[in-house]
Chains A and B, each alone.
Chain A
Amino acid sequence: MAVTDPAVGASAPDFRTRLQHWIPKIVLSPSLAMIFVFVYGFIAFTVYLSFTDSRMLPSFGWVGWENYSKLWRLSHWEISLINMAIFAGLYIVVCTAIGLMLAIFLDQKIRGEGVLRPLYLYPMALSFIVTGTAWKWFLDPGIGLENVMHTWGWTSFSFDWIKNRDFAIYTVVLAAVWQTSGFVMAMFLAGLRGIDNEILKAAQMDGASNWNLYRRIIIPQLRPAFLSAFVILAHLAIKTFDLVIALTGGGPGRATELPATFMYSYTFTRNQMGIGAASAVIMLMTIAAIMIPYLYAELREKK
């Protein structure tokens, strides 16, 4: 894509073209101003808080690295980081795969698309404070799926992941995929519907198979949609909070604790805002370490 500023071409800039030159920047500026104050300003404030003795409310007694050293002594901070890696990895990959597959399938002149689309999307609409209960019951071996299979005569059927410390995190993945894979489908569907059909027809005439059509032409064109999907999913993975609270409450034990629940718990319920802020800073740094190289590669190539 050409990066030349369209307005530069005009010679002898009169007032109108000068205005035209500035309009894009003026349009962008309110959004940027808000983000600089409410995001980067608050991040700076949090970094500061992480070095203070803040407990119930922010206070400003400097304690140096104490909050960070306490943080790393807490065993369930490590658990929550490991859970994050498992959860985010699986969640992002599975959601993207299912979303892309459903979008491609739905794009095949499917009868009843209008019915199926909202069916795939509706989980997004439901708040997890209640849906969590439905999932909890469904996954509970005593009352849910396992019990139903047993009453149907399949008595060796066993599905007790939610009660198992080593597997409970996968039930969180399952419910999270259920909630957002439909939305990822919508993102890819929007991308697919924006692709120029002329190119496809030309390629078809050259005898390309459907598989090659997707692999060589369509999926590469969806790159921006993949970027959107990745950012959205990564952000959701990091912020997953309600789901864990409603589904497992962080349990069994502390086996499904995630950084978001950890941060909330230290900042608000445990009145240890300093440690909460320190954990938030670590999280932000981790995100930056992953996102910046990715964004750099993704955005630079466009030149």
Chain B
Amino acid sequence: MKHLMMTMKASVAALALSVGGANAADVEVLHWWTSGGEAAALNVLKQDLEGQGIGWQDMPVAGGGGEQAMTVLRARVTAGDAPTAVQALGFDILDWGAEGALANLNDLAAQEGWDDVVPEALQAFAKYDGKWISAPVNVHSTNWVWANKAVLDANGIAVPTTWEEFTAAVEALAAAGVTPIAHGGQAWQDATVFDAVAMSAGGPDFYKAAFIDLDEDALGSDTMKEAFDRMAFIRSHVDENFSGRDWNLATAMVINGEAGFQMMGDWAKGEFLNAGKVPGEDFLCFRFPGTTEQVTFNADQFMMFDQGGSVSSEQAALASAILSPSFQIAFNKVKGSVPARTDVAGDELDACGQQGMADLAAAASSGNLFGSMAHGHAAPASVKNAIYDVVTAHFNGEFDSETAVAELVDAVSIAK
């Protein structure tokens, strides 16, 4: 047993030396993009590499927004058999960076000038200790509202830009007998809404203090109570069957005109497009009321596992291909997100995509770009899930707003 523990201790450092499985000129890529469009987009990357004589060993593991893949990654690393490149999000990347398991991409980054084209808020998750350790693919923003235009027009509702306008619109829809808000009651969806609501209730400074700095005063403040009160308002304007619903069935309610609004990240756009709807004509996309200037984001990246102290040429080729403008556009057109580099032209994207790019660039330069708490870009996984627990308990009526605030402070302190 002792021997086992010692070998495990050494494993993270030693994994670098034993990248089994993949042949010399292959990359083994662990990812969770398996649904039609995403996977097809990734195939572009594969073909690009194959054009350079580099084989692609696919290792897809879907589930739980990458949670499943992260579990598998731990097993692979412990077995001394780490994949060459791994899709990852936010704090997971930094955690692996802290383990010293990732390769240093600084040479390539300097050569290609990544520092100038990738927004700084995003760099915070792609660099550890001043070293580039992963290649960002895209930026999803999570504070979007999706609306059925016909439903809004029929009830004389203009796009709300403040919380007050939003509550008025919601009440007008309720009075008209339409479900105002389509929502799926799963912890991560509740938290996605909470992200935007907290930002709108307290502004960017509050958001940063509470979710990024995990400041106890901000977490326990009256503003936080206000945020929970607003969640309660939203709770009282979703249909009674919201609990447990998949997000895309909630989107379908907006598409079918059964509901007016849905708060969801930009991936929801794919559902609208898939149903043959046109942005601006059939459906509207706008920032959550009161967060018009801010963008909360999560970004998919590929981290490169250290291969004997240096970056292999295959890894460099992969990273370079990921950050190439052509792939960034081709991929994000399908995915609904926007490119991770802000210097590519967005002409090929649709109206919502172009707005997303413009918002991202503006927010990045005005300091209004923040990592999304709900999607693991504000606080580590332990804290994120502790916040989930409280938000979802409150949303389901277990706590009133006051208790929720107290529980939040407590839960975060246990998880920190």
> Do the two chains touch directly in the complex (Cβ atoms below 8 Å apart)?
yes
Check if B1 sits within 8 Å of A268, measured CB to CB: no
8 contacts between A and B (CB under 8 A): A41-B4, A45-B1, A73-B410, A162-B243, A247-B244, A248-B244, A251-B243, A252-B243
Check if B1 sits within 8 Å of A253, measured CB to CB: no
Check if A268 sits within 8 Å of B9, measured CB to CB: no
Spell out B's residues near A (CB within 8 Å).
1, 4-5, 8-9, 12, 64, 67, 70-71, 74, 77-78, 95-96, 99, 185-187, 239-241, 243-245, 380-382, 385-386, 389, 392-393, 395-398, 407, 410, 414-415
Q: Which residue of the partner chain A has the closest CB to B386?
A: A270
List chain A residues, Cβ under 8 A from B67: 268-269
List chain A residues, Cβ under 8 A from B8: 57-58
How many angstroms between the C-alpha atoms of A90 and B219 in the bound complex? Answer: 40
A268: contacting residue among B70, B185, B243, B386, CB under 8 A: B70
List chain A residues, Cβ under 8 A from B95: 55-56, 271
Check if B99 sits within 8 Å of A57, measured CB to CB: yes
Check if A250 sits within 8 Å of B187, measured CB to CB: yes
How many angstroms between the C-alpha atoms of A36 and B67 in the bound complex? Answer: 31
List chain A residues, Cβ under 8 A from B393: 253-254
Q: Which residue of the partner chain B has the closest CB to A269?
A: B67
B244: contacting residue among A70, A249, A254, A271, CB under 8 A: A249
Check if B389 sits within 8 Å of A270, measured CB to CB: no
Q: Given that A57-B12, A74-B414 are contacting pairs, would A252 and B396 also be in contact in the complex, using a CB cutoff of 8 Å? A: yes
Q: Does A60 contact B (CB under 8 A)?
A: yes
Q: Does A258 contact B (CB under 8 A)?
A: no
Question: What 14 new A-B contacts, CB under 8 Å, besides A56-B99, A268-B71?
Answer: A48-B5, A57-B74, A73-B414, A75-B407, A136-B244, A141-B241, A142-B239, A163-B241, A163-B243, A165-B397, A251-B243, A252-B243, A254-B392, A265-B385
Q: How far is the CB of B10 from chain A (nearest CB, A)?
A: 12
Q: Does A179 contact B (CB under 8 A)?
A: no
Check if B74 sits within 8 Å of A252, measured CB to CB: no
Check if B5 sits within 8 Å of A269, measured CB to CB: no
How many angstroms between the C-alpha atoms of A270 and B12 in the bound complex? Answer: 20
Q: How far is the CB of B188 from chain A (nearest CB, A)?
A: 9
How many angstroms between the C-alpha atoms of A140 and B243 in the bound complex? Answer: 9
Q: Does A44 contact B (CB under 8 A)?
A: yes
In the A-B complex, the 4 residue pairs with the smallest Cβ-Cβ separation, listed nearest first, are A253-B396, A142-B241, A252-B243, A268-B71
Check if A44 sits within 8 Å of B1, measured CB to CB: yes
Q: Does A181 contact B (CB under 8 A)?
A: no
Check if B78 sits within 8 Å of A57, measured CB to CB: yes
Check if B389 sits within 8 Å of A56, measured CB to CB: no
List chain A residues, Cβ under 8 A from B410: 73
Q: Which residue of the partner chain A has the closest CB to B376?
A: A269
Q: Given that A163-B241, A269-B385, A271-B381 are contacting pairs, would A251 and B187 also be in contact in the complex, using a CB cutoff of 8 Å? A: yes
Check if A58 sits within 8 Å of B77, measured CB to CB: no
List chain B residues, Cβ under 8 A from A45: 1, 4-5
Q: Which residues of chain A from 232 to 269 have a CB within 8 Å of any chain B CB? A: 247-255, 265, 268-269
List chain B residues, Cβ under 8 A from A271: 95, 380-382
